[in-house]
Chains A and B, each alone.
Chain A
Amino acid sequence: MNASNDRIAPWTAYVIVGIGALIMLAPFYFMFVFATQSRTEIFSLPPPVWFGDDFLDNLKILTDRLPFWRNLGWSLYVALASTALTLLFCSMGGYAFALFEFRFKNALFALVMGTMLLPSFMNMIPTFMIMDALGWIDQPRALYVPGAASAFGIFLMRQFVTTSIPKDLIEAARMDGCSELSIYARIVLPLLKPALGTLGLITFIASWNNFIGPLIVMRSPENYTLPLALRSLQSPVDTEWGALMTGSAIATIPLVILFILSSRQLIAGLTAGAVK
């Protein structure tokens, strides 16, 4: 009786997971294939399934029509700044919510969580108004500053602190005479490393792929980030498909590298963050 139950055979697992992985990866494969094909080749029957030889041509179109490398640079800068700020503010905030008592604590937290439920583009016009009042239009800081108040980030940080940092540790440090800020910097932060890794990764990805934000506040093509820049290659009438695929493929690579380097962190962080 037990033996048959046990024979949910190991190779089934490999096959199923393997097929699933292939399904996950297939579209990317085609993105890279299309990146090496010209526009007319992509639009033909049957569509190309192997690499072509138009990669350099596509690259040329891409760099001719856009300040592509500059856009790439901006995406990188904004994503890094966004990550740094978000990690700083959310870790401070999450620590505060988790291990301190203060007035309006629960109300404030509920309010912050509530904002996660609102569709993001309803912010478009008010955001534009604020950015203009601040003089931040067409400036990268308009892209990385607002996101630092991330409801998700503070939620994740609070969860992690609650589950991984014992209150007694903090108390002990206080009794030893540590200042509050150095408790934060030397005890809490190092313990938060996995969560910081996770949140950092998620923030970086979100910033890298963010499209609506730059759409509202960026004015000059030289200051665009990648999604906006790539979209300008599209038009209802004359889309440069090959170059678009090339640009998309190049835009994906940094994220893939980042993920490969930090996947362990991600899992660890999500573990502590979500499992109560």
Chain B
Amino acid sequence: MKLPRALQLSPVWTPYVLLSPFVVLFCIFGLFPLAFSLYLAFQTWEPTSGLTAMSFVGLDNFVFSLQDEWFWKSLKNTAWLAVASGVPQHLVAIPLAVFIHNSFVRSRNAVVGAYFLPYITSTVAIAILFSSLFSTDFGLVNAGLRALFGGEPIDWLGRPENIKPAIAMIVFWRYVGFNVVLYLAALQTIPKDLYEAATMDGAGRLQQFFFITLPSLKPMIYFGVTLSVIGGLQLFEEPFILTGGRGGSDQSGMTTAIYLYRMAFDFNDFGAASAMSWLLFFVVVVLTWLTNRAFKPRGGSA
């Protein structure tokens, strides 16, 4: 299929043509909202009065946010949840991936499918399900715990100190499969000869794991951890639905993203909500950069 000469693209123009649909959409639906929320961060705005009700307040929203107890509380919650749900995801996903890679060949897809299923399900369905599973008197989690260990039923969703672990468990459950898939994919690219050579040199399985597998997985770990950091810091849907949109007792399940949403739609303070979202963005950028440094120290490559 050859286009007439006139219509043919030169290699110089091609990238612009190829990118234009994406860029157009990005500007309209990606950049404009960004700009608008930046603008809004410097205004005070009670939304139901309409657009004309905005008025400029300079850095007031940022000052307010940085002095706000709940904002810092939410950051602590977010950090705790990000670590508590993120670290196990990777610690568990790597060995699991190794096991699946080595031991399951024919049933691999089925097994991976089972692990991936939580990731593809809608959060609404999951949240309702887990609300019932974590129910104090009627939930299956407590029923199972009682069968195994006995003791009093745990008030998962009512007590502040229990809400966080409950959320962390759900997030872990949801995303561990995703990471298993990532690591499985990476494992498939490690050449078998490395292992064969190591075995011939007398290295045991465990040693092979630590000295061959892990280092080879480093790029994928970097990718996966970066995704977990970003996702963890933006955690919204799971705690939102589990705590009924409020963040739970003592706001212990209130991540910064939830607090933003509440500032905007429950407390009708869009200016402060925008300011906080930019502060959160700043935190995400810093942490992503730190992750980058951790995995790719200056001057070297992975």
Which A residues form the contact surface with B (CB < 8 A)?
1-2, 4-6, 8, 10, 12-14, 16-17, 20-21, 23-25, 27-28, 30-31, 34, 42-47, 49, 88-90, 92-93, 95-97, 100-102, 105, 108, 111-112, 114-127, 130, 145-146, 148-149, 151, 154, 174, 179-182, 184, 205, 208-209, 211, 226-227, 230-231, 234, 241, 244-245, 248-249, 251-252, 255-256, 259-260, 263-264, 266-268, 270-271, 274-276
Contact = CB atoms under 8 A, between A and B. Distances in A.
B96 A17 contact: yes
A1 B204 contact: yes
A158 to B, nearest CB: 11
B242 to A, nearest CB: 13
Contacts of B185: 267-268, 270-271, 274-275
Interface stretch (B11-19, B61-69, B80-88): B11-19
Nearest to A21: B114
A208 to B, nearest CB: 7
Contact of B302 (A182, A226, A271, A276): A276
Q: Indicate the size class of the contact surface on chain B.
A: 35 or more
A111 B285 CA distance: 12
Given A149-B23, A248-B122, A274-B220, 19 more contacts: A5-B204, A5-B207, A10-B103, A27-B118, A27-B129, A45-B137, A45-B138, A95-B18, A115-B31, A146-B29, A205-B120, A230-B124, A245-B125, A252-B122, A263-B112, A266-B116, A267-B185, A267-B188, A275-B219
Interchain residue pairs A-B with the least CB separation, the first 3: A5-B204, A248-B125, A149-B25
13 contacts: A10-B103, A27-B129, A31-B129, A42-B132, A43-B138, A93-B22, A100-B14, A149-B26, A205-B120, A226-B122, A234-B128, A251-B122, A263-B116
B165 interface: no
Contacts of A211: 122-124
Main secondary structure of the interface of A (DSSP, over half): helix
A80 to B, nearest CB: 16
A255 B99 contact: no
A97 B140 CA distance: 50
A125 B92 CA distance: 39
Interface of B: 1-3, 8-12, 14-16, 18-19, 21-23, 25-26, 28-34, 36-37, 47, 92, 95-96, 99-100, 102-104, 109, 111-126, 128-130, 132-133, 137-140, 143, 173, 176-177, 181-182, 184-186, 188-189, 202-207, 219-220, 223-224, 230, 234, 236, 257, 260-261, 264, 270, 273-274, 277, 280-281, 284-285, 288, 302
B200 to A, nearest CB: 11
Nearest to A15: B99
B147 to A, nearest CB: 11
A39 to B, nearest CB: 12
A30 B140 contact: yes
Contacts of B281: 117-119
A8 B30 CA distance: 50
B236 A119 contact: yes
Contacts of B30: 112, 115, 149, 151
B39 to A, nearest CB: 10
B205 A8 contact: yes
A145 B62 CA distance: 34
A243 to B, nearest CB: 12
Nearest to A152: B227
A149 B21 CA distance: 8
Contacts of B129: 27, 30-31, 34, 245, 248
A123 B3 CA distance: 41
B33 A123 contact: yes
Contacts of A268: 185
* Most B Cβ at <10 Å: residue of A49, A181, A245, A275: A275
Contacts of A234: 128
Contacts of B204: 1-2, 4-6
B269 to A, nearest CB: 13
A47 B34 contact: no
Given A248-B125, A263-B113, A126 B33 contact: yes
A1 B201 CA distance: 13
B246 to A, nearest CB: 12
Nearest to A211: B124
A130 B24 CA distance: 14
B34 A89 contact: no
Given A149-B29, A182-B1, A275-B186, A209 B123 contact: yes
